[in-house]
Chains A and B, each alone.
Chain A
Amino acid sequence: MNAAIDATALLLLLPAVSAFILACVPDYRLSARLNSVSSFLTFLVALSLLVVTPAPGPYLFVDDLSVIFIILNSFVGFTTSLFSAGYITHEIADGRFSPLRLRFYHAMYQTLLFAMNLALIANNTGLMWVAIEMATLATVMMVGLYRTHQAIEAAWKYFILGGVGIALALFGTILIYVAAQPVVGEGLDGMVWTLLIRRAAAFDPALLDIAFVFLLLGYGTKVGLVPLHAWLPDAHAEGPTPISAVLSGLLLNVALYAVLRFKLLVGANPAALRPGPLMVVMGLASLLFAGFMLYRRGDIKRLFAYSSIEHMGIIVFAFGMGGPVANFAGLLHMTMHSLTKSAIFFTVGPIVQAKGTQKLTGLGGLTVSQPMLGWSLVIGVIAIAGLPPFGAFMSEFLVVTSTFAQSPWLALVFSIGLLIAFAALAMHLHHLAFGEAQGGEAPAVVPIVPLAAHLVPVLMAGLYLPPALVARFQQVAGFLG
């Protein structure tokens, strides 16, 4: 019992304390190492949740759903911190980072991890909202870190759109409280997840409907759903690459987690509007829109940012379809996307550093000039495109086949969307990876450890899912309804 409380507290304390420490450490090598160590410890703590599930308190709680998110998040947070250590060394050498800025960067990195952990273990709609707002602000800071014209615009766009999204989410949260208040009673109880979900059937369904609209749009902005996505490509493209990895791999998931929680809540009320169709429509719109947007991209990081939108569309679509199979697929796809997309950014970072440009026209023939990175990119793109032997293939298979049984036309449109997005990615991949090498052949440091840590599990998942994992996913999938 005590140990359990310690685990949740540690999840918050570790990043919070390290944020303070890192803000004070001047040596960037030391701070990079500290950053990794702290992230690693957080990851270990997260793993301990598998063994001991803490009892829910009024503010914090952990259930099967959040455990998956927490472990995934802390894992990607850890590997990204490893990648970041190599990345910033190069940036320092290039003079794009000053040591002071780096202190800020590391502090913000840990703050972000703190905020995301908080959002994932909050047992309170308000607390969750605060955490997500904090995560937004931290990432805004990091996106604007380079202080270039473009970076500031990206951060500004992100801030404004994120702010509006957050505002909408807050309104939704208030509406949920208003709906809960007559049933659960006034005060803190009206915002506690565990209580809300138990009594949701008695809430006013009409109010829940409106609340869900606001919440979907509000948190959907952070998920990057079309048409609320506009901040996402710029934020990915203009910030430091580790942040792009974190954004795609973590922050989107956290927002998705919030959407899922509220979907559960609304879904628990039989009289309320079904949340599924709304999510399906937005997911499909994101998939199709991002698929088309992939074609005319000229910037490699923006390209993969749109691909993140596409995949968020797929995931939201899967969860929107619901049912044990689709939910399972959604969870799996989310995991695979987090791992793969951040791995792609791990390769993109050194590539961009070596070539000195992130324009696609300047990058070509990567398997010739930087074979290891180039092939890693090929593997990453193949994995993200949902081809075997990688895990996303399984999730896409499950989504399509299970959807087709329920509503064939949706599955058809969905497949067309997948194909459109795939063709665009393939088009860029052929240019990026093959043909004569373009640009510099400067040696690039390959972040082997983080890459392997991401791609090997992705490969393994395509071949074999451990029964324990499957059981957990299935349990959660059943619980998501």
Chain B
Amino acid sequence: MHGLSFDIAHLLAGGLVLTSFMLLYQDRLYALLNVFALQAFVLFLSVAWQAYAQGAPHLYVTAAIALVLKAIVIPGALHRIVARLGIHREVETIGGIGLTMLAGIGLVALSMVVILRATPAAAPLAREDLALSLSVVLLGLLMMVTRRNAVSQVVGFMSMENGLILAGTGAQGMPLVVEISIAFSVLIAFIVIGIFLFQIRERFDTVDSRVLDTFRGERS
């Protein structure tokens, strides 16, 4: 792979990490969803570039899924849910944004150390991609851990999935099976989450998982 295509791939992957940080930084739900859409778009670009660079046309499918589903449909749906529930101002973070960002930087460092040390033999693109996608995965997980709101947890979860897709596409020649499964799972995940959100709203009139947690354990 020549220099330019490597640089572009690298840039796009880096953009994904950046958007992850932006996700961490948000304190409004609408803004969060918008940033998530942005991340999905970056993912689309990245996957599309990989498809072009690797000459693997099946990756375009993945890219398209990312664009349509994650950048447009899901954020839109979530927008509507948030609007209907009227919770757009509530993103409660744990431990403050600053601390979260610091932790995020630590996570990126960790993933760099872990992956780059481990893969001296692998193709450079795969290495970089893996490191960056691990960062995205960890940042998504961090987001799930530091957000109380169910919608933002779902966003964190999907951000993790984005990282996984980045990793999958970065791996040279990874069979189609995986892409389909990812798309498939995102679809199902969305459905399930949709059902759950629907029910949760139906029963508790809020998607704050704290309310869900009131019971938390022994049946009383």
Which A residues are within 8 Å of any B CB, using their own CB? 124, 126-127, 129-130, 133, 137, 140-141, 144, 147, 149-150, 152-153, 155-156, 159-160, 163-164, 166-168, 170-171, 173-175, 177-178, 181-182, 186-188, 190-191, 204, 206-207, 209-210, 234, 237, 297-299, 302, 358-359
User: In the complex the two chains form, what is the Cα distance from A302 to B216 in whole Å?
Assistant: 12
Q: Which residues does chain B contribute within 8 Å of A168, judged by CB atoms? A: 137
User: Quick one: given A153-B216, A186-B173, A358-B219, are A171 and B167 in contact (CB under 8 Å)?
Assistant: yes
Q: Which residues does chain B contribute within 8 Å of A167, judged by CB atoms? A: 137, 157, 160-161, 164
Shortest CB-to-CB span from A28 to chain B, Å, is 23
Q: Is there an interface contact between A129 and B181, defined as CB atoms closer than 8 Å?
A: yes
User: Quick one: given A153-B212, A167-B160, A181-B171, are A159 and B122 in contact (CB under 8 Å)?
Assistant: no
For the side of the interface on B, what is the size category? 35 or more
Q: Which residues does chain B contribute within 8 Å of A206, judged by CB atoms? A: 117-119
User: In the complex the two chains form, what is the Cα distance from A152 to B198 in whole Å?
Assistant: 11
Interchain CB contact (< 8 A) of A137 among B168, B175, B188, B218? B188
**Is B177 interfacial (CB 8 A cutoff)?**
yes
**Is B141 interfacial (CB 8 A cutoff)?**
yes
Q: Is there an interface contact between B175 and A207, defined as CB atoms closer than 8 Å?
A: no
Interchain CB contact (< 8 A) of B114 among A163, A170, A210, A358? A210
Most-contacted residue by chain B among A163, A209, A358 (CB, 10 A) = A163
Q: Is there an interface contact between B219 and A299, defined as CB atoms closer than 8 Å?
A: yes
Interchain CB contact (< 8 A) of A207 among B119, B178, B216, B218? B119
Shortest CB-to-CB span from B100 to chain A, Å, is 18
**Is B73 interfacial (CB 8 A cutoff)?**
no
Q: Which residues does chain B contribute within 8 Å of A187, judged by CB atoms? A: 173, 175
User: In the complex the two chains form, what is the Cα distance from A225 to B176 in whole Å?
Assistant: 31
Shortest CB-to-CB span from B30 to chain A, Å, is 23
Q: Is there an interface contact between A188 and B175, defined as CB atoms closer than 8 Å?
A: yes
Q: Which residues does chain A contribute within 8 Å of B161, judged by CB atoms? A: 167
User: In the complex the two chains form, what is the Cα distance from A147 to B181 in whole Å?
Assistant: 28
**Is B52 interfacial (CB 8 A cutoff)?**
no
The 4 lowest CB-CB distance pairs between A and B, nearest first, are A186-B173, A206-B118, A130-B181, A126-B177
User: Quick one: given A167-B160, A182-B121, A204-B119, are A174 and B196 in contact (CB under 8 Å)?
Assistant: no
Interchain CB contact (< 8 A) of A126 among B141, B144, B175? B175
User: In the complex the two chains form, what is the Cα distance from A456 to B181 in whole Å?
Assistant: 41
Q: Is there an interface contact between A182 and B164, defined as CB atoms closer than 8 Å?
A: no
17 new A-B contacts at CB < 8 Å, known A150-B219, A152-B196: A126-B175, A126-B177, A140-B192, A160-B144, A160-B157, A167-B157, A167-B161, A170-B182, A177-B174, A178-B122, A178-B126, A178-B171, A190-B173, A206-B119, A209-B118, A210-B114, A298-B218
Q: Which residues does chain B contribute within 8 Å of A155, judged by CB atoms? A: 196
Contact pattern, B 176-220, Cβ under 8 Å of A = 1, otherwise 0? 011001101100110011001001100100000100110111110
User: In the complex the two chains form, what is the Cα distance from A159 to B153 in whole Å?
Assistant: 12
User: In the complex the two chains form, what is the Cα distance from A358 to B220 in whole Å?
Assistant: 10
Q: Which residues does chain B contribute within 8 Å of A156, judged by CB atoms? A: 196, 200, 209, 212
User: Quick one: given A170-B164, A178-B119, A299-B219, are A186 and B196 in contact (CB under 8 Å)?
Assistant: no
Q: Is there an interface contact between B144 and A147, defined as CB atoms closer than 8 Å?
A: no
Q: Which residues does chain A contribute within 8 Å of B177, judged by CB atoms? A: 124, 126-127, 130, 188, 191
**Is B130 interfacial (CB 8 A cutoff)?**
yes
Q: Which residues does chain A contribute within 8 Å of B219, judged by CB atoms? A: 150, 237, 298-299, 358-359
Shortest CB-to-CB span from A290 to chain B, Å, is 15
Shortest CB-to-CB span from A168 to chain B, Å, is 8
Shortest CB-to-CB span from B172 to chain A, Å, is 6
Of chain B, the residue at the smallest CB distance from A130 is B181
User: In the complex the two chains form, what is the Cα distance from A140 to B184 in whole Å?
Assistant: 16
Of chain A, the residue at the smallest CB distance from B119 is A207
User: In the complex the two chains form, what is the Cα distance from A164 to B175 in whole Å?
Assistant: 23
Q: Is there an interface contact between B141 and A190, defined as CB atoms closer than 8 Å?
A: no
Shortest CB-to-CB span from A96 to chain B, Å, is 15
User: Quick one: given A133-B185, A155-B196, A159-B196, are A174 and B171 in contact (CB under 8 Å)?
Assistant: yes
User: In the complex the two chains form, what is the Cα distance from A187 to B173 in whole Å?
Assistant: 5
User: In the complex the two chains form, what is the Cα distance from A56 to B130 in whole Å?
Assistant: 31
